[in-house]
């Protein structure tokens, strides 16, 4: 899954794609590089980010979605109306970082459209989530949350086969908590649905490499984390540098199989 943030303030590509033509070209490039989906987002969820109004989010993403009709797209939103408009324009998956908690109409919109959904774990809200994340058992609590949200989605009419789960790296978690989750990703995978990991360029990577103020991790560090996540069972990767991840993960898959294909 290639990332296209149509926002002025995203942590790694903020401002790059505010022009719809530039965003559409970026998305096409990511698909040509081997992405199976491009994730279009009009609201930054980086730590400290402010909420965006419905009108502003629609103004950002609709022209981009219109320019990508016929291409495989996911919409990164928590708002039912944004999802409804995106699905009408052909989006296949709704990537909701609140796991259907922010807008009570969203689950119905997804089930009516027969779309896929990604349910992600987040402790708190983007504005304050990194202030003091607290868990007694981060892996157990994230798994319990994802199991509960999966039940909610299924009860709302979204078939389990259309759900993927995401531990939410960097969403209300310290570096140590992110690493614990990546280390025990097998437990998230054991819940059942495919697991998506979004660790690309996140600050945890820079911190592990010794930069205590680091805000953006390198692509090399992102690939290392993605391959480690693959080894533990993740099958979907939300990334910025698609071409390099496709190469790295193609090799990881070949080694896992012990065969070229
Ligand atoms: N991370 C970000 C945004 N959306 N969705 C899922 N499912 N998983 C993630 O880890 C995830 C996500 C944050 O990254 P980015 O989109 O690059 O930045 P921003 O939120 O500042 O737009």
**Is the confidence at residue 131, as pLDDT, over 80?**
no
Give the separation between CA 97 and CA 123, rounded to whole angstroms: 10
Q: Is the CB of 97 under 6 A from ligand 1?
A: yes
**Token code pair at residue 211:** 């930069």
Residue 194 burial by Cβ neighbours in a 10 Å radius (0-12, 13-18, 19+) = middle
Give the separation between CA 79 and CA 100, rounded to whole angstroms: 9
Average pLDDT, whole number, for the chain?
95
Expressed in angstroms and rounded, the spacing between residue 250 Cα and the centre of ligand 1 is: 23
Give the separation between CA 78 and CA 245, rounded to whole angstroms: 27
Which pLDDT does position 46 carry in this prediction?
Answer: 80
5-14, 121-130, 179-188, 197-206: segment of lowest average pLDDT: 5-14
Q: Is the CB of 65 under 6 A from ligand 1?
A: no
> How many C-beta atoms lie closer than 10 Å to residue 191's C-beta?
14
Tell me, letter by letter, the H, E, C secondary structure of 85-137.
HHHHCCCCEEEECCCCCCCCCHHHHHHHHCCEEEEECCCCCCCCCCCCCCCCC
DSSP 51: P
Place of tokens 């990881």: 252
Give the separation between CA 175 and CA 236, rounded to whole angstroms: 21
> How many C-beta atoms lie closer than 10 Å to residue 93's C-beta?
26
Query: Do residues 82 and 55 lie in contact, with contact meaning Cβ atoms separated by under 8 Å?
Result: no
Q: Is the CB of 57 under 6 A from ligand 1?
A: no
Expressed in angstroms and rounded, the spacing between residue 198 Cα and the centre of ligand 1 is: 7
Strand partners, 237: 197
Atom nearest to 169 CA in ligand 1? 10
Active-site positions read 202, 238
Atom nearest to 118 CA in ligand 1? 7
What distance separates the 2 farthest-apart alpha carbons in the chain?
Answer: 51
This prediction's pTM? 0.95
Expressed in angstroms and rounded, the spacing between residue 14 Cα and the centre of ligand 1 is: 12
User: pLDDT band for position 17 (50/70/90)?
Assistant: confident
Expressed in angstroms and rounded, the spacing between residue 74 Cα and the centre of ligand 1 is: 12
Structural domain harbouring 76: 2-257
Q: What is the pLDDT of residues 54-64, one digit of tens each?
A: 999 999 999 99
Rounded to a whole number of angstroms, the distance between the first and last alpha carbons of the chain is 21
- Here the CATH number for the domain that contains residue 6 is 3.20.20.20
Give the separation between CA 154 and CA 159, rounded to whole angstroms: 6
Residue 134 burial by Cβ neighbours in a 10 Å radius (0-12, 13-18, 19+) = exposed
Q: Is the CB of 172 under 6 A from ligand 1?
A: no
User: pLDDT band for position 49 (50/70/90)?
Assistant: confident
Number of domains in the chain: 1
Residue nearest to atom 10 of ligand 1 (CA): 198
Which pLDDT does position 15 carry in this prediction?
Answer: 79
Give the separation between CA 138 and CA 135, rounded to whole angstroms: 5
**Is the confidence at residue 14, as pLDDT, over 80?**
no
Structure-model confidence comparison of residues 155 and 124, the more confident one: 155
Atom nearest to 12 CA in ligand 1? 17
Residue nearest to atom 11 of ligand 1 (CA): 198
Residue nearest to atom 9 of ligand 1 (CA): 198
Cβ contacts of residue 100 below 8 Å, gap of 6+?
106, 107, 117, 119, 149, 152, 153, 156
Expressed in angstroms and rounded, the spacing between residue 39 Cα and the centre of ligand 1 is: 9
């Amino acid at each position: 899954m290639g990332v296209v943030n149509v926002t002025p303030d995203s942590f790694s590509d903020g401002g790059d794609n505010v022009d719809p033509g530039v965003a559409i070209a970026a998305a096409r490039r990511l698909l040509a590089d081997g992405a199976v989906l491009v994730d279009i987002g009009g609201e930054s969820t980086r730590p400290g980010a402010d909420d965006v109004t419905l009108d502003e989010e629609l103004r950002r993403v609709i022209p981009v979605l219109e320019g990508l009709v016929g291409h495989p797209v996911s919409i990164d939103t928590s708002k039912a109306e944004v999802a409804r408009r995106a699905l009408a324009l052909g989006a296949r998956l709704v990537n909701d970082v609140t796991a259907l908690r922010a807008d009570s109409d969203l689950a119905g919109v997804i089930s009516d459209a027969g779309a896929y959904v990604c349910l992600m774990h987040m402790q708190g809200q983007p504005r304050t989530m990194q202030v003091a994340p607290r868990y007694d058992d981060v892996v157990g609590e994230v798994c319990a949350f994802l199991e509960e949200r999966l039940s909610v989605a299924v009860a709302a009419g979204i078939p389990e086969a259309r759900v993927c789960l995401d531990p939410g790296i960097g969403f209300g978690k310290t570096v140590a908590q992110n690493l614990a989750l990546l280390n025990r990703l097998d437990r998230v995978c054991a819940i059942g649905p495919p697991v998506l990991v979004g660790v690309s360029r996140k600050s945890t990577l820079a911190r592990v490499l010794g930069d205590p103020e680091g805000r953006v991790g390198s692509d090399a560090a992102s690939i290392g984390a993605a391959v480690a996540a693959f080894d533990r069972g993740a099958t979907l990767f939300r990334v910025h540098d698609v071409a390099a991840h496709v190469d790295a993960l193609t090799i990881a898959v070949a080694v896992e199989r012990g065969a070229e294909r």
